[in-house]
Amino acid sequence: MRHIPVTCDQREAMLRAVGCSNISDLFADIPEEVRFARPLEVPGGLGEMELLSHMRGLADANKPASGLVSFAGAGCYDHYVPSIVDHVLRKPEFFTTYTPYQPEVSQGTLQAIYEYQSMICALTGMDVANASMYDGATALAEAAMMACRVTRQRRVVCAGTVHPEWRRTLSTYAGAGTFDVTFLSPDETGLTPGMGHSAAASALKNGDVAALLMSSPNVFGNVEDVGAIAALAHDAAALLVVGTNPLLLGVLEAPGVQGADIVVGEGQPLGNAMSFGGPAFGFFACRQAHMRHMPGRLIGRTVDVDGNDAFVLTLSTREQHIRREKATSNICSNQALCALAAAVYLCAVGREGLASTARACIAKAHYLRDRLLKTGRFTAPWDAPFAHEFALVYDGDVAEMHAAMLEFGFLAGVPLSRIESAGPAGPTAKLAASLVLFAVTEKRTRMEMDAFAGEVASL
Element (H, E) at 265: strand 262-266
Average pLDDT for consecutive 10-residue bins of the chain (459 residues)? 66 88 86 86 89 93 87 95 94 75 82 94 96 91 95 94 94 92 87 68 83 96 94 94 97 97 97 88 95 86 91 71 67 78 96 97 98 96 95 95 95 91 64 92 97 95
- Domain ranges in the chain are 67-80+351-457, 83-344
pLDDT at residue 196 in the model: 53
pLDDT at residue 1 in the model: 44
pLDDT at residue 6 in the model: 66
The dihedral built from the CA positions of residue 149, 150, 154 and 156, taken in this order, carries a sign that is negative
Residues β-bridged to residue 212: 157, 240
Residues in Cβ contact with 61 at an 8 Å cutoff, skipping those fewer than 6 apart: none
pLDDT at residue 197 in the model: 62
3 state DSSP class of 452: helix
- Report how far residue 421's alpha carbon sits from residue 438's, in angstroms, rounded to the nearest whole number: 18
Q: Which of 138, 407, 94 is nearest to 278 (CA)?
A: 138
Q: Can you spell out the DSSP letters for 181-248?
A: EEEEPP-TTSS---TT-HHHHHHHTTS-EEEEEEESS-TTSBPP-HHHHHHHHHHTT-EEEEE--TGG
CATH number of 83-344: 3.40.640.10
User: How would you label 431-455 residue by residue, b for 16+ Cβ within 10 Å and e otherwise?
Assistant: bbbbbbbbbbbbbbeeebbeebbeb
Please give the CATH architecture assigned to the domain spanning 67-80+351-457: Alpha-Beta Complex (3.90)
What predicted TM-score, i.e. pTM, was given to this entire model? 0.87
pLDDT at residue 3 in the model: 55
Instruction: Give residue 118's identity as a one-letter amino acid code.
Output: S
**Helix (DSSP H) and strand (DSSP E) numbers for the chain:** 14, 15
Report the largest interatomic distance among the alpha carbons of the chain, rounded to a whole angstrom. 79
